[in-house]
Amino acid sequence: MRNQPKYNFFKNTSYALKGLRDLVKNESSFKLELLLFLVLLPLIFFIETTLSNKLLMFISLMLMLIAEATNSAIERVVDLVTLEHHEMAGRAKDVGSTVVFLSISLFVVVWGSIILDTFL
């Protein structure tokens, strides 16, 4: 049996918002990516491209935030388990960083190809 309370949409939403507030308050990388998200989101509406392309642009922006949140969660759990240097702990953190790197790479490819296709 799992140590988990019964599902409650409103309570779970409050946990999610609490986590989002914590990320904004304590994670500088998340703040930077959130700023990028807030700056680029309105551009999606002004770029003359297909709805599919606009959705790809939005999804690639969201994936950066999701990846950064996931990386922060991995880092926090690893730090909770041990603050000492351990090879597996370092590898777990490296994989979390890889997730962020891949999401940023995807963002650059998606946005770059759509913008080049639209304006050239």
The residues carrying an active-site annotation are 68
Q: Cβ atoms within 10 A of the Cβ of 77, count?
A: 13
CA dihedral 103, 108, 114, 116 (to 10 degrees): -170
Cα–Cα distance between 85 and 79 in angstroms, integer?
10
- Read off φ and ψ for residue 47, nearest 5 degrees: -80, 130
